[in-house]
Chain A
Amino acid sequence: MIDALGYTFMQNAVIVSVLGSIACGIIGTLVTVNRMSALAGSIAHASFGGLGLAYLMGFNPLIGATGFAVVSAAGIAAISSRKRTRTDTAMAAMWATGMAAGLVFIKLSGTYSADLMSWLFGSLLTVSSSDIMFAAVLDIVILLVITGLYKEFLAVSFDQEFSMLQGVPTDFIRGLFLILTALTAVLLMKITGLIMVIAMLSIPAAIAEMFAGSLWKMMILASILAAVFNLAGLSLAWILDLPPGAVIILIAAFAYVVSLIIERVKS
């Protein structure tokens, strides 16, 4: 495994794994405490439509995925701010429509299906320097937003009505949260693939929630856990010659089960 670090592609994989876990831990924490993991899944799947469009029109798939993710997040925000009960339906519709559109676009473009598989199931071993840039910039943006507006994010997540009465611009905070979730989902697609983004946004945060007493501790713990899962998964996948995205998720799921047992024993 150590000699594998001599390869540039492996170095890139390690860097993206670590950078990705910062975004994953912070945004995953917000997704989890707001009980929005279905939303993350729906944004990730909707972005498949953007990937298809990018292949058909011949532009960078990352831009296509990002565009669709942000538009679908904005769409969900618009629908749910007016009528909360419709959020569920909006997310389900977005989830399926994105996948369907993506499939149609890709069929029309005649793209080789291996490209497709890498987006669906992750392609940690083929990350480019532009992916690393994307991850680094996103981490910086997320860290700036969360440190600057921590008390607002905490308040809106804990009690939206009370925050509104305190003059917090709750729609703005929610919109910001959804857009950051969309961007994080696109970043995590590189690591675990869009099908498994939902797991990376919810499992580390769910484990952290069992042991952390405050939101910022939960964010840090979730980020550390995500980094451990990513690196352990990457190493194990290299040794066993398995797809890294899938191994990462299996390790995370195993850790989740162990934490559930620990929590049960403790109480």
Chain B
Amino acid sequence: MNEAIRLNCVTAGYRRGNPIIHDIDLTVPKSDFLAIMGPNGGGKTTLLKVILGLLTPWEGSVKVLGGSPEKTHPEIGYVPQVIPDESFPITVIDVVLMGRLRNSGLFGRFTRGDRKIAEMNLARLDVLDLAGEEINSLSGGQKQRVLIARALAGKPKILLLDEPVASVDHNTQESFFNLLEELNRTMTIVLVTHDVGAVSAHVKNIACINRTLMSHGETLSAEAVAKAYGCPFELVSHGDIPHRILGNGKGSKT
């Protein structure tokens, strides 16, 4: 069993007759690092919800690690989009402990072991010193790391991230992707983003969706991106980091 995620002809949406994603076939092998791209409103988040089992597809089937998504929840670490300017009173360590809810059960208390796991993951993401801080005093990038630590606290086999690049500022993007690449050694990573440029150099595979799956492979074809985004697209390369260039439908790397 080498598949982490398998979508078969999946059609889903919120209002009947108006599918957000249509007839999507997508297989993600284990230990893949996949970026799902597409314009805003193209169905990326809907696709993520289907994989998470939060949304049941109208048609088609979803398998996560060979089982139904509902059954495989413990194996998936979900990192939602960082919402700026929230005023919820909660400390960083309490956020990360949420990743231990499944293990501690209803009415139970978090054990010393749960706390240790939470702290270990904060340390892994280099934000252990923020454990006692209020989440709202953190920068977007720090919040992002806390949410990843929360997802990792459940010891997942698959990590799903929703728009992780949006809250990471330019200077820390490199170290952020190094971190994901390191995590990728032990788990499958799927991230969703509308930002083609920032991610393409770091991931193993790219899928492009706008209602339907436009392309999926090691590189993106310029035509597929142009079609998905509805306009010609040009990749800007920054710095001298080796970059994956958009192939003309063939799939070439530099």
Measuring CB to CB, which residues of chain A are less than 8 angstroms from any residue of chain B? Answer: 33, 148-149, 151-152, 154-155, 157-159, 161-169, 209, 212-215, 217-218
Q: Which residues of B contact A165 (CB under 8 A)?
A: 52-54, 73, 76, 78
Asked if B91 contacts A213 (CB within 8 A), the reply is yes
Nearest CB of A to B163, in Å:
14
**What is the distance, in angstroms, from B70's C-beta to the closest C-beta of chain A?**
10
Q: How large is the interface on B (under 10, 10 to 19, 20 to 34, 35 or more residues)?
A: 20 to 34
B32 beta carbon closer than 8 Å to chain A: no
Among B67-81, those with CB < 8 Å from A are 73-74, 76, 78, 80
Asked if B58 CB lies within 8 Å of chain A CBs, one says: no
A159 in complex: contacting residue of B80, B104, B109, B110, CB < 8 Å: B80
What mask results when residues 83 to 115 of chain B are scored 1 for a CB within 8 Å of chain A, else 0? 000011111001101110110101101100000
The residues of B that contact A157 with a CB separation of less than 8 Å are: 88
Q: Which residues of A contact B181 (CB under 8 A)?
A: none
Q: In the complex, how many angstroms separate the beta carbon of B56 from the nearest chain A beta carbon?
A: 13
Residue in chain A with minimal CB distance to B110: A151
Min Cβ gap B92→A in Å is: 11
- Is B107's CB under 8 angstroms from A148's CB? yes
Query: In the complex the two chains form, is B54's CB within 8 Å of A161's CB?
Result: yes
B98 touches A214 (CB 8 A): no
Are B102 and A166 in touch, CB under 8 angstroms? yes
Contact present for B101 and A163 (CB under 8 Å):
yes
CB B156 to nearest CB in A, in angstroms, measures 10
Q: Which 3 pairs show the lowest CB-CB distances between chains A and B?
A: A166-B101, A166-B102, A167-B102
A154 contact set on B, CB distance < 8 A: 90, 94, 98
> Complex: how many Å from CA A215 to CA B89?
6
A204 to chain B, nearest CB (A): 14
Q: What residues on B are CB-neighbors of A169 within 8 Å?
A: 106
Write the chain A residue with the least CB distance to B90.
A158
B195 at the interface (CB under 8 A from A): no
B164: Cβ under 8 A from any A Cβ: no
Bound complex: CA of A112 vs CA of B211, how far in Å?
63
B3: Cβ under 8 A from any A Cβ: no
B140 shortest CB reach to chain A, Å: 16
Q: 27 A–B contact pairs at CB < 8 A?
A: A33-B88, A149-B107, A151-B97, A151-B104, A151-B110, A154-B94, A155-B98, A157-B88, A158-B95, A159-B98, A161-B54, A162-B80, A162-B98, A163-B98, A165-B53, A165-B78, A166-B101, A167-B74, A167-B101, A168-B101, A209-B89, A213-B89, A213-B91, A214-B89, A214-B91, A217-B89, A218-B89
What is the distance, in angstroms, from A80's C-beta to the closest C-beta of chain B? 15
Q: How far is the CB of B91 from chain A (nearest CB, A)?
A: 6
Residue of A nearest to B100 (CB): A166
Indicate with 1 or 0, residue by residue over B137-161, a CB within 8 angstroms of chain A CB atoms: 0000000000000100010000000
Considering the chains assembled together, what is the distance between the CA atoms of A151 and B73 in angstroms? 19
Output the nearest chain A residue to B53 by Cβ-Cβ distance: A165
B223 at the interface (CB under 8 A from A): no
**When the two chains form their complex, are residues B73 and A167 in contact, meaning their CB atoms are under 8 A apart?**
yes
Cross-chain contact B154 with A166 (CB below 8 angstroms): yes
